[in-house]
Amino acid sequence: MPGHYIDVPVSGTAVTDSLRKVFILRPGDSAQDISIEARAGSVTDITLVILPGVSADLTVNVDFTGEGASLRLAGLYVCGSSEKVSVRTVVRHRVPFCTSDQIFTGIAGGTSRVSFNGTIIVAPGAQKTEAYQQSRNILLSRDAKVSTEPQLEIYADDVKCSHGATAGSLSEDELFYMRSRGIPESEAKVLQLISFLSPVLASLPDPDAVASELEAAIRSIVQR
């Protein structure tokens, strides 16, 4: 797999909008590993969008090497058939006063297999680290599988770390309520799924552009 390195610009103690990027993986694209060095005071905000028809196996490595840096890492996926998506993240807090927030969320239908393996390492001395990780998933079929494996290795004592994972299904009650108002079943599903993804969508630099592509993707798998 081709490697891909993004160097995060350093700007001393000034807070800079160092890196804000959305990667969209469409069918035919090849997944690339991402490595980030988060230097002092940097702000990094990365979103990875994995659309239906994409199988991907990739790792995101983040190294905090300077104090006062923050990272937001979002993964959004929509799988509708037999995709295999495996995302690993390794976030290393080597220095104090850094924050990392990871959210991995998506929709798994068909016979897709999705796994999220998030490792957070807080080195000795990396005090005042805040590291969060959550995984929220909706399963659209019995044959789809989602697994979340968080791994926390914490060697400092003054830190805030948490992780959580949920895997639910569409709410029958919500679907019936919407249908009883004349919203067709497939549209009701689309509405519910979009609203499920909306917390992550809303935080994107250009939510509308990504939202319309995701909405089309969701519509295509719901109507299958």
Partner 1 sequence: MSRELLKISGLHAAVEGKEILHGIDLEIKPGEIHAVMGPNGAGKSTLSAVLAGKPQYTVTEGSIEFLGRDLLAMSPEQRSWAGIFLSFQYPIEIPGVSITSFMKTAINSKRAAEGLEPLKGADFLKLMREKMAFVKMKPEFAKREVNVGFSGGEKKRNEIFQMAMLDPVLSILDETDSGLDVDALKIVAEGVNALRSPSKSAIIITHYQKLLDYVEPDVVHVLKAGKIVRTGGREIVDIIETQGFDSF
Alpha helical stretches, state H, 131-224: 172-180, 185-201, 207-222
Choose one: 17-25, 59-67, 139-147, 182-190; the region binding partner 1 (CB under 8 A). 182-190
Q: Which of 14, 28, 157, 172: binder of partner 1 (CB under 8 A)?
A: 172
Q: How far is the CB of 192 from partner 1 (least distance, A)?
A: 7
Q: How far is the CB of 222 from partner 1 (least distance, A)?
A: 14
Full DSSP string of 87-113: EEEEEEE-SSS-EEEEEEEEEE-TT-E
Q: How far is the CB of 168 from partner 1 (least distance, A)?
A: 12
Looking at the Cβ atoms of 46 and 190, the one nearer to partner 1 is: 190
Q: Which of 12, 125, 168, 184: binder of partner 1 (CB under 8 A)?
A: 184
With a CB cutoff of 8 Å and minimum separation 6, the contacts of 65 are 37, 38, 39, 40, 94, 95
Looking at the Cβ atoms of 131 and 197, the one nearer to partner 1 is: 197
Q: How far is the CB of 218 from partner 1 (least distance, A)?
A: 13
The string over 47-69, giving b where at least 16 C-beta atoms fall within 10 Å of a residue's C-beta and e elsewhere, is: bbbbbbbbbbebbbbbbbbbebb
Number of residues in contact with partner 1 under rule CB under 8 A: 21
CA separation for the pair 213, 211 (Å, rounded): 5
CA separation for the pair 34, 192 (Å, rounded): 31
Looking at the Cβ atoms of 16 and 171, the one nearer to partner 1 is: 171
Q: Which of 177, 212, 223, 224: binder of partner 1 (CB under 8 A)?
A: 177
Q: Is the Cβ–Cβ distance between 220 and 80 less than 8 Å? A: yes
Site string for partner 1, 141-160 (x = CB under 8 A): --------------------
Looking at the Cβ atoms of 119 and 192, the one nearer to partner 1 is: 192
> Quick one: the chain helix, strand, coil %, rounded to 5?
20, 50, 35
Would you count residue 208 as binding partner 1 (CB under 8 A)?
no
Would you count residue 168 as binding partner 1 (CB under 8 A)?
no
Q: How far is the CB of 76 from partner 1 (least distance, A)?
A: 15
DSSP 199: H
H or E element in which residue 26 lies: none
Residues at the contact surface with partner 1, assessed by CB under 8 A: 171-174, 176-185, 187, 191-192, 194-196, 198
